[in-house]
């Protein structure tokens, strides 16, 4: 394939393992009674939208593949293993089997490198795919019938600042778009991150006990709503402008660059993202959002801009 590729949807697709746990898919060993339904139903609505689209690949940027030297991409065609969440191993022990669109991954690698970013392909077949990637992909496409491209989070926030991270991540997003266009892929992008991200430091004896679930503090909720309002209003540049403050105030997982990458790839959409659901998971704020350029705005990529 070459040319005429496009992004058919961009999604904010958070990765709390609690959501997979509560869904009880056959791949996951622990079983739940219920839990986090507003978010899971949000994902259900997102999936229904994605089912309407014709696409080839899921491209996911994950905060839980942390690379302190550059951005890395999965570069092995197939992975099959067990993913155990290092933080919530009681909830998430997931047998995964997935394929990788290595050609697209290499194209993103090359575009990123040409744009001056530090890039690296991950070729080790023993590598274990991070649980953030798995959760976001599973909740968005539980059939696992599309190949993925897995992109690491380069921790520029830790080494420099949020502003530097945003510059790098948005550039990586543009490189991703160019690679998608050049390879002719129709791609769904997943930004695998929550919004506010201060966790509780205790866990309920029954993890799905929803009487114990709430936002960590009111300030986080106010910030989450502000960010969601900007998303819904299509004010994506403002979203990026306020992100340093948002990250500082809410310990946001957006510090990993996933959301900035998504905005860069989608050329800062001026149409609204559709909010499918918002909910808290162990105190963190999570929103499931989709941007649909061919439905709501100028098509991102595919020669439409």
Residues that bind other proteins (CB under 8 A): 65-70, 72, 81-84, 86-89, 93, 118, 120, 122-124, 126-128, 130, 152, 155-156, 158-159, 198-205, 212, 214, 216-219, 282-283
**Least separation in angstroms between CB 204 and other proteins:** 7
Q: Which is nearer to other proteins, 107 or 165 (CB)?
A: 165
Task: Give the strand pairing for 274-281 and 284-291.
Answer: antiparallel
CB atoms within 10 A of CB 256: 30
CB of 57 to other proteins, least distance (A): 22
HEC per residue, the chain: CCCCCEEEEEEECCCCHHHHHHHCCCCECCCCCCCCHHHHHHHHHHHHHHHCCCCCEEEEEEEEEEECCCEEEECCCEEEEEEECCCCCCCCEEEEEEEECHHHHHHHHHHHHHCCCCEEEECCCCCCCCHHHHHHHHHHCCCCCCCEEEEEEECHHHHCCHHHHHHHHHHHHHHHHHHHHHHCCEEEEEECCCCCCCCCCCCCCCCCCHHHCCCCCHHHHHHHHHHHHHHHCCCHHHHHHHHHHHHHHHCCHHHHCHHHHHHHHCCCCCCCCEEEEEEEECCEEEEEEEECHHHHCCCCECCCC
- Least spacing, CB of residue 85 vs other proteins, in Å: 8
**CB neighbours of 59 closer than 8 A, spacing ≥ 6?**
104, 108, 148, 149, 151, 176, 180, 187, 188, 189, 190
Least distance between other proteins and beta carbon 81 (Å): 8
Cβ of residue 170: shortest distance to other proteins, in angstroms? 18
Q: Which is nearer to other proteins, 54 or 124 (CB)?
A: 124
User: Can you give the C-alpha Rg of the chain in angstroms?
Assistant: 18
Q: 51 or 124: whose CB is closer to other proteins?
A: 124
CB of 266 to other proteins, least distance (A): 26
73 or 187: CB nearest other proteins: 73
Least Cβ distance, residue 67 to other proteins (angstroms): 5
Shortest distance in whole angstroms from residue 289 CB to other proteins? 24
Q: Which is nearer to other proteins, 6 or 136 (CB)?
A: 136
Beta carbon nearer to other proteins, 210 or 275: 210
Task: Give the residue with the Cβ less far from other proteins, 62 or 183.
Answer: 62
Query: 120 or 295, CB closer to other proteins?
Result: 120
């Amino acid at each position: 394939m070459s040319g005429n590729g496009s992004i058919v949807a961009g999604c904010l697709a958070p990765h709390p393992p609690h959501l997979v746990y509560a869904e009880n898919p056959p791949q996951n060993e622990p079983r739940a009674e219920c839990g986090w339904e507003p978010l899971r139903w949000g994902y259900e609505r997102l999936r229904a939208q994605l089912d309407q689209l014709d696409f080839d690949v899921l491209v996911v940027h994950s905060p839980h593949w942390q690379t302190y030297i550059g951005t890395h991409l999965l570069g092995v065609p197939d992975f099959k293993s067990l993913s155990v969440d290092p933080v919530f191993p009681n909830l998430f022990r997931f047998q995964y089997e997935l394929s990788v669109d290595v050609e697209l991954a290499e194209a993103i690698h090359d575009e990123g490198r040409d744009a001056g970013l530090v890039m690296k392909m991950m070729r080790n077949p023993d590598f274990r795919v991070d649980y953030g990637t798995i959760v976001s992909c599973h909740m968005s496409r539980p059939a696992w019938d599309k190949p993925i491209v897995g992109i690491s989070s380069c921790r520029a926030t830790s080494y420099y600042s949020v502003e530097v991270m945003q510059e790098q991540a948005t550039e990586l997003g543009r490189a991703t778009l160019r690679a998608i266009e050049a390879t002719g892929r129709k791609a769904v992008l997943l930004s695998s991150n929550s919004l506010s991200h201060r966790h509780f430091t205790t866990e309920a004896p029954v993890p799905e006990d929803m009487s114990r679930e709430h936002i960590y503090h009111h300030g986080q909720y106010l910030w989450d709503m502000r960010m969601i309002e900007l998303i819904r209003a299509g004010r994506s540049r403002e979203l990026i402008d306020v992100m340093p403050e948002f990250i500082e105030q809410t310990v946001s997982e957006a510090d990993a660059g996933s959301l900035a990458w998504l905005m860069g790839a989608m050329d800062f959409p001026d149409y609204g993202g559709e909010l499918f659901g918002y909910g808290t998971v162990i105190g963190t704020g999570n929103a499931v959002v989709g941007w649909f350029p061919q439905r709501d705005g100028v098509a991102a990529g595919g020669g439409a801009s």
